[in-house]
Amino acid sequence: MIIQQLHDQRVVLVNQDSFYHELTEEELATVHEYNFDHPGENSSTNRDRKYHEHYDLLNSFDTEKLLDSMENLRHGQAVDIPNYDFKSYKNSVFPARRKLSQPQNFLQVNPSDVIILEGILIFHDPRVRELMNMKIFVDTDADVRLARRIRRDTVEKGRDIGVVLDQYSKFVKSAFDDFILPTKKYADIIIPRGGDNHVAIDLIVQHIRTKLGQHDLCKIYPNLYVIQSTFQIRGMHTLIRDSQTTKHDFVFYADRLIRLVAKAPLGFSLIEDLFQVVEHGLGHLPFTEKQVITPTGSVYTGVDFCKRLCGVSVIRSGESMENALRACCKGIKIGKILIHREGEDNGQQLIYEKLPQDISERHVLLLDPILGTGNTAVKAISLLIRKGVPESNIIFLNLISAPQGVHVVCKSFPRVKIVTSEIDIGLNEGFRVIPGMGEFGDRYFGTDDDDLQVVPPSE
């Protein structure tokens, strides 16, 4: 159902059953005693032997091959998935380049936006679990599981119903209790009633669609937020990125854009004002329910936003965002940090800091319009944490970000939120963001060489 709702051209399904080990001639002779539901722990304890009385190899699946296939798919490479035959207990994988006239005894799976890995023992190996962005456990009644198993094994695997029931009582039921049910604790989502639970499936599909509509980095880092791009925002970016834009126009449109990014943490709508970054950032602050009495004497139930808030600007470009923050948050306290970049190795040195004394009790909006390498941001965030600010109380606001900086900050501080208006291509050899917008501080404050003006001394 998930594949149908997402459209199969965006989804591929990989089944763990395709990676069963082939049986040897000795194992084939007593195949009805083979436990296909053992996860494989390379153990020979008495407890394990009761599930596999005749063999030392306690591993039903070729997990290494499964891991290799999933890694290749994640890196955009097509893979050949084994076609396991449950009648012969063999599989065949032929190269994708083989002649089309030859029979196809494999399934070629191409990389896609969504990869669904299905299997009853899929959560057992921690290496497989680490590959997953979302882990779903489908929970059904024992009677339903048995009925489905009988139908599958008799129709698809050509087994006699007596053999199916014998294997169920000898292996399947006990294996479920000991190996499958305990992995339920690893699931992010547990779906009762399986495919009949349309509400749960719809919620999962909506979540996947949301992720598919995000920037690729947003799919990786849940703490990264890029404000919704509109023609108005693109137009403002075009103006402030243009090297021919005058200082007056640069400041005007930069201020409008900054306000949108900042207000996003408070939950305000993206209105048309370089204040956009600030507005978007404010929407990520915590709030509580609040009731007020209107002039008509009626009760209105709304929300009350976090009041213990402060801004911290990274001198000097970050100071350009202070006016937007003050416009959104009346009377807000603002601290300052000066970090100097030393030499070509891009080392960072803290030169100056002046922060509110009670900053550890506040939510902090860290202001710096450009996120490049991420080194300055890491230095600033580390300082805030040393001052007692919880990592989850920090929201980093900027106008444009380089992917390199996003990786550095999000990996170093997974609970710090980043709010930005656009993610650029990357960094050049000089560690400048490209296409970027040049030296933001120089352009905003009018200190670049082209705009320097000599002011005569006052009389």
Of 161 and 306, the one with more pLDDT: 161
Residue bearing the bigger pLDDT, 267 or 114? 114
What's the whole-number average pLDDT of the chain? 77
Tens digits of residue pLDDT in 116-129: 999 888 898 899 99
Is 198's pLDDT higher than 50? Answer: yes
Residues of the chain with CATH 3.40.50.300: 2-213
When pLDDT is cut at 50, 70 and 90, the band that residue 105 belongs to is: low
Comparison of pLDDT for 345 and 434, the residue scoring more:
434
**At a CB cut-off of 8 Å and minimum separation 6, what does 70 contact?**
14, 115, 117, 128, 131
Domain 2-213 has CATH 3.40.50.300: yes
Q: Where in the chain is the domain with CATH 3.40.50.2020?
A: 218-451
> Which of 40-54, 219-233, 311-325 is predicted most confidently?
311-325
C-alpha span between 66 and 378 (Å, rounded): 37
pLDDT band, residue 371 (cuts 50/70/90): very high
Tell me which residue has tokens 């900042």: 262
CATH of 218-451, one of 1.10.10.10, 2.130.10.10, 3.30.479.20, 3.40.50.2020: 3.40.50.2020
Mean pLDDT of 291-308: 78
**Structure confidence at residue 165 (pLDDT):** 85
- How far apart CA 208 and CA 221 sit, in angstroms, is 14
CB-side neighbour CA atoms (13 Å) of 192 = 1
What pLDDT does residue 425 have? 87
What is the pLDDT, as a whole number, of residue 186? Answer: 92
pTM for the full model? 0.53
Residue 316: is the preceding peptide bond cis (ω within 30°)? Answer: yes
The token pair that represents 283 in the structure block: 């929407």
The pLDDT, as a whole number, for residue 231 is 77
Helices (H), 75-168: 126-129, 142-155, 161-167
Residue 447 has pLDDT above 60, yes or no: yes
